[in-house]
Amino acid sequence: MTPSNGRLVLLDLPARQKVNSISSTAETATASVTGQVIRGIGWVSLNNEALAKLIETAAGVVVRKGAEKVAWCIEACKADDVKEFSGGGWQISRIQVSVLE
Instruction: Tell which wins on pLDDT, 44 or 95.
Output: 44
User: Which of 2-16, 22-36, 72-86 reaches the highest mean pLDDT?
Assistant: 22-36
Paired with 86 in beta bridges are 89
Tens digit of pLDDT for each residue in 33-78?
998 888 877 666 767 788 889 999 999 999 999 999 989 888 888 7
Task: Pick the more confident residue, 76 or 84.
Answer: 76
Per-residue DSSP letters for 3-55?
-TTS------HHHHHHHHHHHHHHHHHHHHHHHHHHH-SGGG----HHHHHHH
The structure's pTM equals 0.65
Q: Where are the beta strands (DSSP E) in 1-92?
A: 85-86, 89-90
Share of the chain above pLDDT 70, in %: 63
What are the sequence ranges of the domains in the chain? Answer: 13-90
Q: Are 77 and 91 in contact (CB under 8 A)?
A: no
At 89, which helix (H) or strand (E)? strand 89-90
Rounded distance, CA 42 to CA 65, Å? 30
